[in-house]
Structure formats: C-alpha cells, structure tokens
Structure 1
Amino acid sequence: MKPTLLLLHGALGSPDTLKPLAGLLAADFDVKMLAFAGHGGKEVQLDTFTLPHFAGEVLTFLAEHEVGPAHVFGYSMGGYAALLAATQEPARFASISTLGTKLDWSPESAAAETRFLDPEKILAKVPAFAETLRQRHAPADWAAVLRATAALMTAAGARPPLTTEALAALPVPVQLLVGDADHTAGSPTGRALAARLPRARFELLPATGHPLEQANPELLAARIRNFALGNPGKKG
C-alpha cells in the first residue's frame, strides 16, 4: 500500500493548481487534495477564511481519511496551514514539505502583500489573471476571494498564528523549500525562524520565484518524494 501524500494549495489557489504535481507523485503515493474554505468554488465567509480554520480543516481531513500519520506538502499558505496543524496534533503527520511558505508575518509584511490584492487594479492591469481567478473560484466571486485573502494576511500580520515557541517544539520532520528569487518567503527573518525547527531541512531552489508555476515540477516532485520516503513515520 502506498503512503498517503496530502497536497495543500496556496492563497488564491485550488486543488486544480496542484494536479500537475500530483501526477508526478502518483506512482509513489496515494495522492489526496482538499480545497480550503472559500476556494475552488466554495462560499466565501470571513469567519472560516482564516489560517486557524484552514489548519483545522487539515486535521479534520486527516482524522476522517487516515488511520496513521500522513505526508503533507503545502504550497505557500498551504504549508503554513500544515505547520500550524502539526503544532496542534503532530502525531497525524509523518512529514511536511513546504514551498514558498512565509513564516515571518508582521503588520509591515502583511501590508506589503495585501497591496497586490486589489480586484479593480488586477482587472485593469492583468485581466487574464482576473479571468483565471474567476474560472478557478466560480461560482464564488473571485473578488471576494481576494478581499478575504487580504483580511487573512492582515490578521496574520497582527497576530501570527505560528509562534516561535510552537515552531521550536514541533517534532515532525519538515522540509522548507524556498525559491532563490522568492521575495515573499525568502527573508532572513524567515530563515531564522526556519532554523528554530528541531527536525527541519532548508533548501533554496535555483531560478525560482514565489509563484508555483515558476518551480521546476520534476525537481519539486523529487524533493517531496525523497523527503517523504526518507521519513516514513510510525504506523498508527
């Protein structure tokens, strides 16, 4: 029986954005995906569009679908949700790999990120991206997804759900992958926080920015595969 690998999408994403990666990993894992609340056509509600709620969704999914610990890969926001969930119930995780996950949230960094989440500006300057978001989140309103994402980031900046103490106590093997051109997740402060994880490895991926599409899919799949198979975890 192949081990389970749960793939978690990033902000503004959906499980569809992870299908190419899932295809590359399907030979070695029972690949599963979930759409976070407010994404992929789900109704957008501010009370469920939060990092703590997304972490709860990860734990609920694993409790309902898995007997033993599972491997998880999260892109950006999905990686943050996985780490937050693991600080609450680490026994559910055999390993966690992340790509482009920002650990160092502050009011200043949140303000820097949210300035890109203006629906009117996106519609005027990059209409093709607006159309992609519309199709990805239909029948929900793509502009509502943007506004809810901005609210999520503002809340994370004001009070980061992942504390330094929680990261330092996390017993799960964690692989933190960051693109060498990723200006969202690749800060020195973020690296310092990553260094606090007791069972973590950190790697810069060459010629890679923050968008998932900029990552070399074969290289990313290989890193996830090797780390997960090298950390099989304990059977439940």
Structure 2
Amino acid sequence: MSYAEVNGLNLYFEEHGDAPVTAERPALVLLHGGLGGGDMFAPILPALSAGRRVIVVDLQGHSHTADVDRPIRLETCADDVAALVRHLGVGPVDVAGYSFGGGVALRLAIQHPDLVRKLVVASIPFRREGFYDGILKQQEQMSPEAAQFMKQTPMWELYERTAPRPEDFGTLIGKMGELMKVPYDYSEEIRDLKVPVQLVFADADTYSMQHISDFWALLGGGQQDGGWDGSGRPGAHRLAVLPNTTHYTIFVSPALVTVIDDFLDA
C-alpha cells in the first residue's frame, strides 16, 4: 500500500502478486468504477494476481486518494495513471478498467499508447448517448445534495472506511455528476487504436446490445465471417458478453478473470 505524488495528486496504489514482470507478462494496472475504489475488486484479486503483478489504483477523489482542486475528467485521470506507471518504471503495462475506470483505461491507451501493451475495457460506452435513457436521467440528478441519499449504499460504506476526508463525499458526488454531463464520442480515436483491445460487457448491461455491437464494429468486429482459419477476425481484438451479469456485478464475476487471463496470455 503506497502513495505516489503525481500531477499534484497523492495517488494511492497497491501492488499484488509476486510474479516477475516480463515483456511477455507485464504488470496489470486495474482501475475501479465510479464512486468505488480498488477494494471493489477484492473478490477477484487473488485469482488475477496468482500469476502476474497487479497494480490497483484509487483514482482522483476516490477511496484512499484525496481529491484536489480540479474537475474529475477521464483525460486527466489517464494522465495520472500514466505518471504513476512512469514513476514505478513498469511500462509498458496491460491495463484493465471497469465503468469509470474503463473510460480512464481507454483514454490511457489513446493518450499514452507507448505505455499500454494490451487494453481491457469492461462495461463502458464509446459515446455518452450509449447509456439507456433512464440511466442518463439518473446521472443528471447526481449532485452534492444527492450524497445524503447515497449513504445507504455500498459506495458510501467504502468511502467512509477508506477516504482520508469522508466529509468530501458530497464533493465527489458533485464532481462525478458533472463528469457524467460532459458530451463525448471517442469513435474516431477508437478506430485508430493500435493496441489489442478486449471489450467486456454484461448480458444485462447499462447499454443496449446495439451500442455494444457498434463499439465492436469500431474495432473492425462483426463485419464478416471469421473464416475457418480466423483470418476474418478483427486482428487481435476480442469481444466477450458475460452471461447472468449486470453492470453492477460484472466486476466481481469469476468469468471476468477468465476473459482477462485468456486475453492477456494470448
């Protein structure tokens, strides 16, 4: 359990697993969902770190990492992770992120491609409109005032237990609410990605199957028959839809571990 001073932020991270870091099996940087922290991966961390070094990061304002005077944006969080990787001297790394952390992982690969060998993104949209309408309406209600209502949730339990300043919970809710209102569409940047990508979604996710299909198409998937020899596949990219999961359970699914291990070891 350590902190690194990066970009004016005292960034918390943990290292798990004692496997040596090699070019064939680099460190895996693991990034959590919004309002969560690295602790949310506790059920799957032993399996993920059994054969590789795993670096779990608490992003700006989340869990053990105290907030600073700047908005929370995927782009700046990606720069923070890049600075941490350089600080530790472990790049290039594999990176896996879920939800908010998946967006940060994607931006890391876009903004710092030299630091990423393989990319796993679980349960993220490539544009804001990818969310179901009902979810977008919920996001619009995220404000500091909503913090009181969220104190009955696991997110508050984790934050209260781990945050340096639990009284900042309302600030975090407000900043994440502002982030969710920012329009974005990463289509062109995704088409230009040079690193192998593993997309992972729940079969009852926060996005429609059409949006998932459109995301896969940006990587060249779903355009033709794969062929007997696999020559029609979209390069090294992969798509997985995990059965009997939702956006709120996929990050602790044992099936997610299998997908990540298979992809990173391929």
Does TM, scored on the shorter chain, surpass 0.5?
Answer: yes
Residue identity (%): 26
Distance (Å, rounded) in 1 between the aligned partners of 2:219 and 2:171:
35
Residues 202 and 120 of structure 1: CA distance in aligned 2, closer, same or farther (over 3 Å): same
Matched, 1:188 2:215: no
Q: TM-score, normalised by structure 2?
A: 0.74
Paired position in structure 2 for 1:134: 160
Distance (Å, rounded) in 2 between the aligned partners of 1:189 and 1:224:
22
Distance (Å, rounded) in 2 between the aligned partners of 1:103 and 1:55:
16
Higher-strand-fraction structure: 2
Residues 68 and 145 of structure 1: CA distance in aligned 2, closer, same or farther (over 3 Å): closer
The structure that has the greater radius of gyration is 2
Displacement of 1:190: 4.2
Paired position in structure 2 for 1:112: 137
Q: Is the 8 A contact 1:9 1:78 kept in 2?
A: yes
Distance (Å, rounded) in 1 between the aligned partners of 2:188 and 2:208:
21
What value does the CA root-mean-square deviation take over the aligned residues? 2.6
Q: Taking CA–CA contacts closer than 8 Å with sequence separation of 6 or more, which of the two structures ends up with the larger relative contact order?
A: 1
Number of residue-to-residue matches in the alignment: 224
Tell me, which stretches of 5 or more residues in structure 1 are unaligned?
231-236
Distance (Å, rounded) in 2 between the aligned partners of 1:95 and 1:227:
9
The correspondence of residues 208-227 of structure 1 with structure 2, limited to 5 A, is 208-211=245-248, 213-214=249-250, 217-227=253-263
Q: TM-score, normalised by structure 1?
A: 0.83
After superposing on structure 2, the runs of 4+ consecutive aligned residues of structure 1 that deviate more than 4 Å are 107-110, 118-122
The equivalent position to 1:148 in structure 2, one of 161, 166, 175, is: 175
Higher-helix-fraction structure: 1
The equivalent position to 2:113 in structure 1, one of 90, 98, 101, is: 90
Residues 114 and 169 of structure 1: CA distance in aligned 2, closer, same or farther (over 3 Å): same
Distance (Å, rounded) in 1 between the aligned partners of 2:101 and 2:150:
27
Secondary structure at the aligned position of 1:207 is classed as strand
